Structure 1
């Protein structure tokens, strides 16, 4: 019977693709800032029989029977999240960070309300109000930018802009801003103009959980995030808030924005959150930041231009226009991919090229820190990256860097 056949028998092409993807991850240095490698325990939870269970509703109040065990799993994920981020209420059902933001918008905003958020080309995220996303189509969106000279957000400018437009919500959070947000300052601005403050911590959930990054918990009405980036849990989203907004948020997620939760995925979140409460995870988060800072220092020494001059967290945004004016972000991404270093092209402040070409690259350290690479290895990686950017068509450089990448991957395997 097909039901009893293993993957390689029933779907050999899928099985081969899974094997090839594992081989690709093991044999390359993943430096996309939003990616990571989960533990074997998270993989086990995600591949469990929980994938079979429908559980519309919330623990203790489901629309289906037989939910006693998935209730336990979801309750564990909730309790871990509340403890990690010191917030009153957590909803662990959103399928992604974008759907987490959707849940908050639906909970307290009406179509046509005004959102003030960081511009996408200055490091923001699609779900903060870009016109190709539902957020930009349903709401009136105004955006703040980083200072063109410093690469930092000027909070006095944000305050002035907020006073002028009187937004209903101010969003702090980004996908490519290398500095910590001043959550307290955004909270003060939001209070002054009587706006909600949504802190989207998608990229820094793990860093905040470990205490190596400032927390918005005391300064935001809502905190959303992804659960698979720096926190290495099951892939998806998370919403946290005070009890005052708990019912509205829960109703906005289900039945407002999605149906049955992915219970195997919720289990992956519960496992990853449990791992994040260990001393080992704190040391890991410290390594992420130390690795990124050292990477940036070597980039600077080698002549690369970094937006804001460096980083406070897990990522660096490299503006190629000064050091490599003829090299696009797309070309840099492809050249590095050819030697086994995986980054992504990224727009930079003042961008003149299209988002599919760009003038920059975003480089992150979470996945390399998971593999165990520390500052000494990051010096090597930084040099390898700049060597390729300096001579992307030099076969000797490509061969030498590829060989060194192979050595590092063999020395620091993901799944032994």
Structure 2
């Protein structure tokens, strides 16, 4: 993963730390030092981030391992300054499975909070439940409250928090998934407005940041649901490009440059004797030009690891496979022969046109008849 460092693997799931995590470390260290002018406080605050983010990893593993039970793999877990993100290949189509996956993360925090509560009571070392001091306080008490806060915050009914997915899953048991997502997204955006108002009135920039985060997450979920529905019954043959340039493995890169500048697509199938050998992406081309020059053959820089989809395959499934492989284009075949090129850009154009026609039909139905 770009801009992230791998720190471990659990059950085949890579754990990464994004480079922006360093901003949090710096902010915590500076804030602690400025509070009392103590370097020891700054070091203690940084060290406290270790168990904090260990808890976040366990939370995300709760989602990931539950998803594995339903045959859904997790690409990776990445730690950001605002928390962790487990990138599942997809969310379960069954609302009951989605509910269990969404609940698994907060459930981990509830279990951890329960264990910490039990330890604190048995040890009898806790002075007060509210005696929380992040730098020099009772570590177990601090971790107890962190788990309580994480569970409570994530259960808020707003995307992209777990509560938004729980609400969507519950609604989806009584209505279609798109309508359920729209309702959950609307509730989430309403909460984002409340966060923004309280953040503005209390001069709390963190609440304003959360408001933006929630608003964007809700909008993205609604958009993804609409796209999924729009492409659910559309075959790849309806959205693929049928007019495109084909390159040979021995063609110099200058030929690809000419096609790129004169055409409208960014990736080119590489074909020899009717067989697709690879695909030359724009990034392949740029890297090849910088390393070898425009006289280098296409075969030198093309990608041999490419996605092939059948023209009769549903576009929704093809897009999921593209996202899973983190590719932008796929080769489309029909009866084993090259038939087209599927790209995310072309799918976007298809959805744009489909949306415009849908609005036109809706406007025609609701227009007042002329006298």
**TM-score per shorter chain, which class?**
under 0.3
TM-score (norm: length of structure 2) = 0.26
**Which is richer in helix?**
2
TM-score (norm: length of structure 1) = 0.24
Larger Rg: 2
